[in-house]
């Protein structure tokens, strides 16, 4: 896989667009892997508990 | 908060949208904290705050930016409390970092991730949002409460620093041994 291989010379003000692009592409790959993971049960349980709590409050008000 | 009534009858709770942003929030939290467990704690806190302060969200505006802002502010607040500001340490890292491009894509991604942790948080968050997560410059500026030009500048400085750390800027092709790479990775916190 051609990855993180800079072939162009940078300058003092910036880096070649191709290097920027490589960095962004690899960051996207890194973060899309993390995004694709299943949500932990603790998080879905938290949302469920918050929903139930609100439903209970609404019932108590009636 | 009660849900809005739809023409078809059943109420729709706008907070139901929160769950759709959780995967991206988790990834962003990992990028900021550099730690899987701390990231999930951060997301939990964000969900709690968003849920309980949902009245502060303006319906129809960008919920993703709103949630990311809560997460970011929570992280920065915790970070200040823990008083564990980590300096850039760029020179040290540049000297230590050994890149092994082309041979193993997964290893290169891990090195990139490790290098990200050496960036100042302002640069790191800008690059994660714009470079990795597809935020527009304007959306990232809204999330980080700064000017669009600042985001652009921070992201560019982050890319330049990464290129230097990973020896990309000058087109170097360092020859490294598995041992040297393993030493770098062993010292890097496991964020992904």
SS3 B149: helix
> Burial of B135 by CB count in 10 Å (0-12 exposed, 13-18 middle, 19+ buried)?
buried
Q: Which two three-digit tokens encode residue A3?
A: 């990855």
**Architecture, CATH, for domain B90-187:** Orthogonal Bundle (1.10)
Residue B190 confidence class, pLDDT cut points 50, 70, 90: low
A6 in reach of chain B (CB within 8 A): yes
- Alpha-carbon span A37 to B39, nearest angstrom: 13
Q: How far is CA A14 from CA B133, B155, B158, B170, in A?
A: 22, 11, 11, 11
Q: Choose among B24, B99, B173: nearest Cβ to A35.
A: B24
Contact A5 B166 (CB under 8 A): no
- CATH for B15-82 is 1.10.1740.10
Angle at A46 between CA A42 and CA A52, to 5 degrees: 145
Domain ranges of chain A: 38-62
Residue A36: closest CA among chain B residues belongs to which residue? Answer: B23
pLDDT tens for each residue of B69-112: 999 999 999 998 886 555 444 444 443 444 444 455 666 888 99
Helices and strands, number each (H, E), in chain A: 2, 0
Roughly how many angstroms between the first and final C-alpha of chain A, as a whole number? 62
Instruction: Say if B15-82 and B90-187 have the same CATH topology.
Output: no
What is the rounded CA–CA span in Å between residue A41 and residue A47? 10
Q: What is the mean pLDDT of residues B15-26?
A: 94
Interface of A with B in 21-50 (CB under 8 A): 22-24, 26-37, 39-40, 42-44, 46-47, 50
Q: Both tokens of residue B132? A: 């990795």
**The pair of three-digit structure tokens given for residue B178, joined into one six-digit string:** 């598995």
DSSP letter assigned to residue A30: H
Residue B43 has pLDDT above 60, yes or no: yes
Question: How close is the nearest chain A Cα to the Cα of B66, in Å?
Answer: 18
Whether the model pTM is above 0.90: no
Tens-digit pLDDT profile for residues B132-177: 999 999 999 999 999 999 999 999 999 999 999 998 875 544 333 3
Q: What is the pLDDT, as a whole number, of residue B95?
A: 38
Among B171, B184, B179, residue whose Cα is nearest residue B112: B184
User: Is it the case that residue B47 has pLDDT exceeding 80?
Assistant: yes
pLDDT at B92: 44
Question: What pLDDT does A10 receive?
Answer: 40
Per-residue model confidence (pLDDT) at position B187 = 52
A59 vs B120, residue with greater confidence = B120
Instruction: Give A5-61 pLDDT, tens digit per residue.
Output: 444 344 446 899 999 999 999 999 999 988 999 999 999 999 999 999 988 888 887
pLDDT for residue B165? 93
- Residue A56, chain B, CB below 8 Å: the answer is no
Comparing B32-41, B48-57, B71-80, B93-102, which segment has the lowest mean pLDDT? B93-102
Contact A29 B101 (CB under 8 A): no
- Which structure tokens are listed for A7? 């072939």
Mutate to test the interface with A, among B17, B29, B131 (most CBs of A within 10 A): B131
In B, minimum Cα distance to A58 occurs at B2
What is the Cα–Cα distance from B26 to B149, expressed in whole angstroms?
26
A50-58 long-range contacts (CB < 8 A, ≥24 apart) are A50/B47, A50/B48, A50/B51, A51/B13, A54/B1, A58/B2
Q: Can you give the residue ranges of every domain in chain B? A: 15-82, 90-187
3-state class of B12 per DSSP?
A: strand
Closest-CA residue in chain A for B28? A31
Q: Between A6 and B123, where is the model more confident?
A: B123
């Amino acid at each position: 896989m051609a990855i993180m291989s800079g072939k162009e010379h940078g300058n003092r003000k910036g880096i070649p667009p191709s290097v920027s692009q490589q960095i962004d592409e690899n960051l996207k790959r890194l973060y899309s892997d993390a995004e694709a993971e299943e949500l932990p049960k603790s998080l879905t349980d938290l949302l469920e508990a918050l929903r139930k709590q609100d439903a209970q409050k609404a019932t108590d008000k009636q | 908060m009660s849900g809005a009534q739809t023409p078809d009858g059943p109420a729709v709770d706008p907070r139901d949208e929160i769950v759709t942003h959780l995967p991206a929030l988790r990834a962003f939290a990992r990028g900021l904290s550099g730690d899987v467990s701390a990231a999930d704690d951060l997301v939990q806190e964000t969900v709690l705050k968003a849920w309980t302060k949902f009245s502060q969200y303006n319906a129809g505006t960008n919920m993703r930016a709103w949630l990311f802002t809560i997460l970011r502010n929570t992280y920065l607040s915790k970070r200040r409390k823990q008083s564990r500001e980590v300096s850039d340490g760029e020179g040290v890292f540049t000297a230590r970092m050994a890149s092994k491009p082309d041979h193993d894509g997964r290893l290169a991604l891990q090195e990139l991730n490790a290098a990200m942790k050496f960036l100042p948080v302002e640069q790191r968050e800008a690059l994660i949002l714009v470079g990795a997560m597809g935020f527009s410059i304007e959306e990232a500026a809204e999330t980080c409460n700064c000017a669009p030009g600042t985001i652009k500048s921070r992201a560019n400085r982050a890319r330049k620093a990464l290129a230097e750390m990973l020896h990309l800027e000058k087109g170097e092709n360092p020859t490294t041994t598995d041992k040297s790479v393993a030493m770098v990775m062993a010292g890097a916190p496991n964020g992904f």
